[in-house]
Structure 1
Amino acid sequence: MIQPPAAVVVLMGVSGVGKTTVGRAAADLAGVRFIDADDLHPPANVAKMAAGVPLDDTDRAPWLDAVAAALVTDAPCIMACSALRAAYRDRVRADAPHAQFALLDLDRHTLERRLTERSGHFMPAALLDSQLATLEPPTAAEGVLVLDATRPIDELAAAVAALLVPRVD
C-alpha cells in the first residue's frame, strides 16, 4: 500500500516578519522538524545579501531546488522560506505538491524596526524595500493562509501547526 505524502508547511514572508520564531514554535507544537530555508542558500547568495545586493531569479533557482528537495526528504516539517513570488511557490509545489503555505503579513514600519533591532543575520534592513517589491501576495486560488504577524507567537504557531493536518479536497 502506498503511503500518502507527509505533510509539510512553508511559512513565508519577507525578512523580519517572524518566520523563524513562529516556525520553530509551530514545529515544536506539532512535534516535527523545523527547517530554515536561509540555511539552504549557497554561500554566494549569502555573501551577496550580506553586501546589501538583492538576489535575482538566477541566484534563487538553485536555492529553490534545495528548498523543494528538503521538503520532500525531511517531511513532515515546517520550513521558514520567503517564497515571495508565485513562481517560487509554484517551483516548490512542483516537487512538494502537498505543501501548505502560510504568509506572515506585517506593515513596513514594524518590519523595518524588527530588522534594525535584529543582530546576527546576514540580511540587512537595507534590503527590505527589495523584498517588499518582490513580494507577490498570494491569490485566493493559491489557498495560502494569511496571518497577521502582530498576533501573539503562540496563536500564530497554533495556526501554522494546524496546517499539518491533511486536507480533504
Structure 2
Amino acid sequence: MSDRELRPLRSIRITGDGRCLFRSVAYGACLRRGKHPPSDSAQKELADELRAKVADEFVKRRGDTEWFLEGNFENYVRQMRKPHAWGGEPELFMCSHVLRMPITVYMYTSSSDGPRIIAEYGQEYGKDDPVRVLYDGYGHYDALQPSVVRTQSRL
C-alpha cells in the first residue's frame, strides 16, 4: 500500500513528558501488531520499556553506533536511560532494530497540504505498514495512523 492510498493520516496527540518519541513509537507498534491503542498510562509504561531496550541496543551495537552519537558514549547512554531525556534520530534508528519494524517520520512543511516523509528507518524489516510518527520540528513527536475509510459494499 502506498502513502497515497493511506492518506489521510490522522494525528494522535501524545503527552509531551520527555517520552514523546518513545510513546509515539510504542503507540504505532501496538497498532501495527493489531492491538488496541494504548492508554496514556500504558503508553508511559511501554515507552519506558522501549527506552531501556534502545539503550541496551546502543551498547550491543556500540561499534556501529558510537561514531554518530554526540559526546562520550557512556554518558550518552546513561543520559538516554533517564525517563525524561529527549530522543531523536539515533533513538528512532535503534527503535526500528529493537522492534524489528520500519519507522517512518513525517513533518508538515510550508509547501505541502499534508505531512511529508522526512526520514525512514528499519527498511530491512519491510516497507509496508511502518510505524508512523509526526515530528513538529521543535522536539515533539506525535503518533500518526491512517484514517479508516469506509466504503459501501455493493449488493
TM score, norm. by length of structure 2:
0.31
Structure number with the bigger relative contact order (C-alpha 8 A, sep ≥ 6) is 1
Say which one has the larger Rg: 2
TM score, norm. by length of structure 1:
0.29
| Structure number with higher helix proportion | 1
